[in-house]
Amino acid sequence: MGYKLNEREFNQLLGELSEKYLIYAPKVFVGKGRFSDTDCIRYDKVKNVEDMELSLKSQYSFKEVLNPVSETLFYFTEDSVKEADMPRNKGAIIFLRSCDLHAVERMDEMYLNNGPKDYYYKRLRDNIHFVLIGCSKAFDSCFCVDMGTNKSDNYDIGLNVREDGYELDVKWDEAKDILGKMAKENSLKEEDVTVDFVKETTTRVSIPKNLSYDVSKSKIWEEYAGRCINCGRCNFVCPTCTCFTMQDVYYDANGKVGERRRVWASCMVDGYTDVAGGGSYRKNNGERMRFKTLHKALDYRNRTGYNMCVGCGRCDDICPEYISFSNILNKLDTAMKEVSANG
């Protein structure tokens, strides 16, 4: 069922949905960019369409709605434990693009299908609805077409932002009911809407079909030992990075009382692979890059049949050392030839 709405009508729909749902969308944080006098676009709660930034790419993904940067899991005293309340007391609606909707599938795979279901993820994942923002053109660093994530039908509402209004393809009954009522009261008319998706990108990526763990022996990883400064930004912006660490925070007044938090972790930073006895598996930044690349483009695919990376290009945009992940993927073919030639 499709409709075309003006701004007031779209806000009316959002207003009615917000009685039961928190709405999350990309938003501009003025002056909060990485460089002075630049802005940052990241996800936050919004009330209306004026709060949203729907034309630019968000530097950070939707993932903190489902997996907060820092989440208290429970509180403990000397002899009791109390589960922390859920960070959200309503359902949620997330506005996101096709690559990110595919990234939700990756997050679900890691938190719900990779062993026992993660309780804390599941309670935030339940009662979520997705509004797919149509892409009429690709941004410079996107390579979603080559990763097969440029198109998705798995949405509740599909949205095209036009100069003169908002086109909606609605699959969700609650939204259909509201729009049906609005149609009776206003002059809304049903019309066919097809959500925009890109068919080509400037950045192209090709992962060799014969990619194997032998590529670990290639010399390409050595470059990153020097260039990468292990800041971890590439992990934090990535919608498919799901690693976390646990932190017990003890309250000062009583050292046996406190809370346990889980906090985002990064496989690129120091300490991630430290183990008991003072060992560390990947001290070199080139080894960390090798691990991250093969997880995104080989190891996960071997288990699920599809790549973990969705080609959003955020890691390329954010790296302070201008290290391009899409470039690394494109080097894998040469790297495989190098290791084959070396036997």
Judged by CB under 6 A, does residue 67 bind ligand SF4?
no
d(CA 179, CA 173): 10
Judged by CB under 6 A, does residue 201 bind ligand SF4?
no
What string marks each residue from 244 to 283 as x (binds ligand SF4 by CB under 6 A) or -?
A: ------------------------x---------------
Tell me the HSE value of 261 on the side-chain side, using a 13 A CA sphere.
13
Give the 3-state secondary structure of residue 241: coil
Judged by CB under 6 A, does residue 96 bind ligand SF4?
no
What string marks each residue from 288 to 327 as x (binds ligand SF4 by CB under 6 A) or -?
A: --------x------------xxxxxxx--xxxx-x-x--
Indicate the residue type of 215. Answer: V
Judged by CB under 6 A, does residue 286 bind ligand SF4?
no
The smaller minimum CB distance to ligand SF4, of residues 4 and 314, is found at 314
Q: Is 273 exposed, middle or buried (0-12, 13-18, 19+ CB in 10 A)?
A: middle
Judged by CB under 6 A, does residue 234 bind ligand SF4?
yes
Task: Tell which residue, 161, 301, 141, has the closest CA to residue 237.
Answer: 141
Query: In whole angstroms, how close is the CB of 267 to ligand SF4 at the nearest point?
Result: 9
Judged by CB under 6 A, does residue 172 bind ligand SF4?
no
Judged by CB under 6 A, does residue 239 bind ligand SF4?
yes
Q: How far is CA 267 from the centre of its chain?
A: 16
The tokens of 245 are what?
């660490």
Q: Answer whether 196's CB lies under 8 Å from 160's CB.
A: yes
Query: In whole angstroms, how close is the CB of 307 to ligand SF4 at the nearest point?
Result: 8
d(CA 19, CA 102): 27
The smaller minimum CB distance to ligand SF4, of residues 262 and 314, is found at 314
Residues in contact with ligand SF4 by the rule CB under 6 A: 228-234, 237-240, 268, 296, 309-315, 318-321, 323, 325
